[in-house]
Amino acid sequence: KLPIVAIIGRPNVGKSTLVNRLTGSRNAIVHDEAGITRDRLYEPSFWRDRDFLVVDTGGIVFDDDSEFLPEIRQQAMLALSEAVAAIFVVDGQTGPTASDEEIAEWLRQQSVPVFLAVNKCESPEQGLIQAAEFWELGLGEPYPVSGIHGSGTGDLLDAVYPCF
Ligand code: GDP
Ligand code: MG
């Protein structure tokens, strides 16, 4: 049974893009509209000597009562329940939002180790500044990454690796 890494975060932060980057696939649907990935999607990947599965989730939204959102939230919770680690993806260009805070608070109550990926950090210098804003989520070190460019994902996976 392969270890599972759950990708968690509010819609549009780049979860599906990051999943595609981490797995070398193009199966996770990337979309400009929020809330497009509605089901869980497992993709095989490996880092160093370990195989693992990445599960994309539809994004947790706690402050919205559109009809399909409770379902997405349930998917995310289910994904987390079977995961050895979670990557919490946030948007480095918007900075921390109220939804990020809520998700972070929920994640801090879970027993699964959480790694914070600050996505959309294409510029190395600015990425460090953008990432530093997310220390306030109380989830430890924020890792600047770019799902589009692929930068930073090695450091992120090095951090997750002990969980495999
Ligand atoms: P999801 O809803 O969290 O799965 O987000 P998506 O992967 O569908 O991406 C949402 C939007 O963010 C799309 O327009 C992507 O092109 C954009 N995006 C994703 N990753 C990056 C990134 O690393 N840098 C930038 N600048 N944009 C990104
Ligand atoms: Mg998605």
CATH of domain 4-163: 3.40.50.300
Burial of 151 (0-12, 13-18, 19+ CB in 10 A): middle
Please choose, from the candidates 28, 42, 22, 39, the residue with its C-alpha nearest in 3D space to the C-alpha of residue 157: 22
Q: What is the pTM of this model?
A: 0.91
Residue 140's φ and ψ, nearest 5 degrees, are 85, -155
User: Which of 30, 37, 43, 91 best tests ligand 1's pocket when mutated (most atoms within 8 Å of CB)?
Assistant: 30
Predicted-complex ipTM score:
0.99
> What does the domain layout of the chain look like in residue ranges?
4-163
Nearest CA to ligand 1 atom 13: 32
Cα–Cα distance, 84 to 69 (Å, whole number): 24
Cβ neighbours of residue 129 closer than 8 Å, sequence gap 6 or more: none
Is the pLDDT at 34 greater than 90, yes or no? no
What pLDDT digit, counting tens, does each position of 118-129 carry? Answer: 999 999 999 999
Taking ligand 2, which is a single-atom ion, which protein residues have CB atoms under 5 Å away? 15-16, 37
Of 12-16, 53-57, 72-76, 86-90, the least confident: 72-76
Cβ neighbours of residue 84 closer than 8 Å, sequence gap 6 or more: 3, 4, 5, 52, 112, 113, 163, 164
